[in-house]
Every structure is written in C-alpha cells, then in structure tokens.
A = this chain, B = another copy of it.
Amino acid sequence: MAEPIRIAIDAMGGDFGPAVTVPGAALTLERRPGCHFLLFGNEAAIRAELAAYPRLAAVSTVRHCDVAIRMDDKPSQALRAGRRVSSMWQAIDAVKKGEADVAVSAGNTGALMAMAKVCLRTMAKIERPALASLWPAATERGFSIVLDVGASIGADARHLVDLAVMGSAMARALFDLARPSVGLLNVGKEDIKGVEEVKTASRLLKEADLPDLDYRGFVEGDEIGKGVVDVVVVEGFTGNIALKTAEGTATQIKDYLRQAISRSWLAQLGYLLARGAFRELKEKIDVRNINGGVFLGLEGVVIKSHGGADAHAFARAVEIGYEMAHQGLLTKIRDTMATITHDDPLSPDTAPNSSPPREAAQ
C-alpha cells in the first residue's frame, strides 16, 4: 500500500468546531482507510469527541492551540490574532512543513485565504490564487468545477488562463480525466461578445492549444449545470455571485415546493409516496454533498468547508482534500504551467488588453 495521506484539520473551524470536525474525520476514515490525521485546536475539546471514535483516535495526533479564529473575524484581525498560534494557521503550517499533505478548515473564507497566502505563498508563475467549487451538473460524475468563486476580484486575461490551467489540473485529479474540457463564462457564444479580458483569454487559450486541457470557447450561465464543459472559468466577482445565485435559486425552489405540498393533504400523501425521489433530488442539490472549495495556486493544498457543515458535509470536504493530495494536484498544475512557459505564447499578448488586477477586498 502507498504512503498514507496525512490530513491536517483545523478542528475549531466552522460553526460547531470539534463536534463536527472530529465525527467528520471519522466518516472520512471509514471511506478512505489510508488516512492519518493531525487535529489542531483545543486539546480537551478534541479528545472529548475523539473518545467516541477509537479507530480515528488511533491514526490521529492532537496538537493543542490556544487560539481559534472566529467566523466573523476579518482577515486582517485573524492574521493579527491568529498568526502562528491559531488552529487555522497551524493546520496550514503543517502542510508547509511537510507534516501534512493537505489542510482542511470550515473557518471563515477570508481568514483562511489570507493565512494560506501568507503561510504557503503563491506558486511560481501563478499571479494570484483562486477558490474553486464543485457545481452539480448533468454529467456522468454529477459535477463540474467552477473557478474563481471569490478568492480575488477582477482578472486580466493572463489570470483567466491561469484559472483554466489550475481548474483543469483539479479536474484531472478529481475526475480522473486526461484532458478536461474548459470553457470561459461569458454573456454569449460569439467571439465578439463580452469584456476584453475574456475575449483575450479565449484567444490565448485557443492559440496555446495546451496538451492538458481542451479549450471549448465561451459558455453561458445556463450551461454550467448542463455540464457542457468539465471546468468553467470566470473572474471571482462574477463567479461568487453566480455560485450564490445558484445556491439561492435551489433553496428558493425547495421552499416553494415545501409550501405548495404543505397546503393540501393529498399533496402530502403524494409526497410520502414519492419520498424516495425527493430524497434523490435532495442528495443532488444538497449543498452538503457539494461541500469543499479548493484553494488553487498556493504551494500546498488547502480545502475550505462550509462553516455550517455537519459531519457528513465536512467529511465530503476532507475527501476532496484527500483526492487532491492523493492525485498530486500541485504537480499537475506545475506540469501544465511548464507547457505554457516553454511555448510562452502568453506574455507578449496579454499586456495591452489587460486591466490591472485587484485584490479581493478584505
């Protein structure tokens, strides 16, 4: 058997802390037996939860941290108060030190991003990191990848190409594809549509004809869920809004349906008979099953779980981290970036059409 994957967990992250992160890790261990865990946070609280999971306890090391980052801490506050000493920082730092292959936290996104950037640093040749999300899609595997969903705001053409490279590396790692298909999110299909950065990125990706990704042109908002491509690339402001809009729409439809059914006993009876189908639907659109954002472009793998995740959802995020580490995400990104550098089709073209990048406001 190969080396076990070592997973660093910010046990204090999220709305519920060890009450969710420890049972979540236990669920992961059932499904991925070849894991070791480093659990960072309040030792007493963690051990109290661990007592119920002897098999997890046997493959876990607990590292006490005095500081836990709060869900409403601003990134700057989090860095001031939690650098080096918080469970979030320590989990990331374990990746940097080579003690863990991946770090997982359900803590707040801004703080996690800031700490991951400061601690791990951005990969060579990558301008800025990104946050990638799984998106339920009508594909065989049930998901596409969408990035950036909010790690940074604004993107020049070069950054959009980086996003394509990083997203395709993630798709190769997670979906086991040789050459994932990639599309740029735009307001129409024709070459002349959209903002300059997107048009330039499209041209660059066509010209580069990279060995590791199959660039398919523009896709529109209603095509993400159809799974027309494996990876959808979009700048972080629009990507974040698109993701939240889709989540909001799913919730809204669930609410409408619940209200409509509750208004008649016949409908309620019908619901009972069809509850298998409803369960299946719920599985498909449940945010818990698509939990686990991946920070891409850093010198280490960091996974962000929803703050409100339960153990089941947290385990999903941990398992995405497992796959990313197991399949060598970073190597895959580096390999593709290397093919870009050799051809170097990008540098002369991007500058005139690019607007200056803006960092995500914090």
Contacts and interface: CB of A to CB of B under 8 A. Distances in A.
Contact of A241 (B221, B276, B280, B355): B221
Interface stretch (A32-40, A164-172, A189-197, A320-328): A189-197
Contacts of A240: 187, 221
Interface stretch (A48-56, A113-121, A222-230): A222-230
Interface stretch (A6-14, A61-69, A259-267, A333-341): A259-267
A1 interface: no
A225 B237 contact: no
Interface in A202-225: 220-225
A342 to B, nearest CB: 33
A245 B248 contact: no
Nearest to A136: B252
Given A153-B195, A285-B256, A222 B238 contact: no
A267 B260 contact: no
Contacts of A261: 274, 277
Interface in A225-261: 225-226, 234, 236-238, 240-253, 255-257, 260-261
* Band of interface residues on A: 35 or more
A277 B264 contact: yes
Contacts of A226: 248, 252
A81 interface: no
Contacts of A196: 358
B256 A267 contact: no
Nearest to A261: B277
Given A221-B248, A249-B250, A270-B271, 19 more contacts: A138-B252, A186-B241, A192-B361, A194-B237, A195-B358, A222-B245, A224-B245, A238-B238, A238-B242, A256-B280, A260-B276, A260-B278, A261-B274, A263-B277, A266-B273, A270-B273, A270-B274, A270-B277, A271-B274
A248 B274 contact: no
A178 interface: no
17 contacts: A153-B187, A187-B360, A193-B361, A226-B252, A238-B241, A242-B245, A249-B253, A260-B281, A263-B280, A264-B274, A266-B273, A266-B276, A267-B273, A268-B274, A270-B270, A270-B271, A271-B277
A126 B275 CA distance: 53
Residue with the greatest number of chain B CB neighbours at <10 A, chosen from A237, A250, A360: A237
Contacts of A256: 280-281, 284-285
Contact of A251 (B222, B238, B271, B361): B222
